[in-house]
């Protein structure tokens, strides 16, 4: 065991958060991975608990209506995620005997499951030695081993190859969780707590004097955007059986944004037009 691995695992043993998806079923892990995409833990926790109580297996979610799924997703954001999770639950229930697949390649055939999500499910649900590279882990490794503030773009083959060499032969899933936790709590994006880092003496970024990345990091905006307009419309339709376009335009300041949002939501399958030409959540 390397000194870096030893220090990070020791830190994790004493600082691990008590998150419910770390002691759940493979399905619970899968639900958490869908919810945690671009969404902080604090917002996911109550929603994950609600979903697991309501739909504890893939078959339970598969039997739910699309409208119920969208409504239950609430304001987690990026609602296409819940549609893909709903679609995946139907495949798992029908084709995999209601059991989340273990193999990464099989997992990646499921709707909404890409490289990272497949690796995370394999690691955290089945303790497989998969290469888990979320934004937190990539940031930790980039700073410690490469001496850069932020990783650039998507993982390269060279980055994957080096990070794969770091995976321990035993308890690889713990290593993945530990490095992810370190990035989430200490080696954070904007205000890293370097004085609390268990591997600060090994960190190349610190040794170089914390050089800033050439990459320009853009902060995502929300207020007044098309995304906020979409979210406002969806919330209105969660609260009302159906609404006309005129009614929806009364709850948003820009008619053209409402029109774009409605077209996009229709295309994504998040809403539909009923017989009265009113907009509503999908009936099925």
Contact at 8 Å (CB) between 132 and 122?
no
Cα 34–76–266 angle (5° rounding)? Answer: 90
Task: Please identify which residue in the block is written with the tokens 């759940």.
Answer: 24
CA 78 to chain centre: 10
Contacts of the segment 187-194: beta carbons below 8 A, 24+ positions apart: 187/136, 187/139, 187/140, 187/143, 189/139, 189/150, 192/143
Catalytic residue among 7, 33, 159, 181: 33
Task: Please identify which residue in the block is written with the tokens 């907009």.
Answer: 279
Cα distances (angstroms) measured from residue 95 to each of 105, 110, 173: 15, 11, 27
Phi, psi of 52 (to 5 degrees): -70, -30
Rounded Cα distance between 180 and 168, Å, is 15
* C-alpha dihedral, 248 to 254 to 256 to 257, nearest 10°: -80
Task: Please identify which residue in the block is written with the tokens 């959540």.
Answer: 281
Rounded Cα distance between 243 and 226, Å, is 19
Cα distances (angstroms) measured from residue 179 to each of 133, 151, 189: 10, 15, 14
Contact at 8 Å (CB) between 44 and 76?
yes
Give yes or no: 181 in active site: no
Please give the positions annotated as active site. 33
């Amino acid at each position: 065991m390397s000194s870096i691995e030893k220090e990070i695992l020791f830190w994790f043993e004493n600082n691990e958060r008590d998150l419910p998806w770390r002691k759940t079923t493979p399905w619970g892990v899968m639900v958490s991975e869908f919810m945690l995409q671009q969404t902080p833990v604090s917002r996911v926790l109550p929603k994950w608990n609600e979903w697991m109580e309501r739909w504890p297996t893939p078959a339970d979610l598969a039997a739910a209506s699309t409208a119920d799924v969208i409504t239950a997703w609430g304001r987690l954001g990026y609602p296409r995620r819940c549609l893909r999770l709903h679609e995946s639950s139907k495949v798992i229930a029908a084709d995999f005997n209601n059991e989340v697949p273990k193999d990464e390649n099989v997992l990646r055939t499921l709707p909404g499951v890409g490289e990272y999500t497949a690796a995370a499910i394999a690691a955290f649900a089945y303790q497989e030695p998969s290469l888990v590279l979320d934004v937190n882990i990539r940031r930790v490794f980039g700073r410690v081993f490469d001496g850069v503030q932020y990783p650039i773009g998507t993982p390269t083959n060279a980055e994957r190859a080096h990070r794969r060499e770091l995976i321990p032969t035993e308890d690889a899933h713990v290593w993945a969780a530990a490095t992810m936790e370190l990035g989430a709590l200490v080696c954070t994006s904007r205000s890293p707590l370097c004085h609390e880092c268990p591997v600060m003496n090994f960190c190349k970024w610190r040794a170089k004097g914390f050089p800033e990345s050439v990459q320009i990091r853009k902060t995502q905006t929300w207020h007044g955007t098309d995304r906020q307009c979409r979210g406002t419309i969806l919330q209105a339709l969660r609260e009302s059986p159906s609404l006309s376009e005129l009614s929806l335009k009364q709850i948003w300041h820009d008619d053209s944004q409402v029109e774009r949002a409605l077209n996009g939501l229709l295309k994504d399958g998040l809403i539909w037009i009923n017989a009265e030409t009113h907009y509503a959540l999908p009936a099925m």
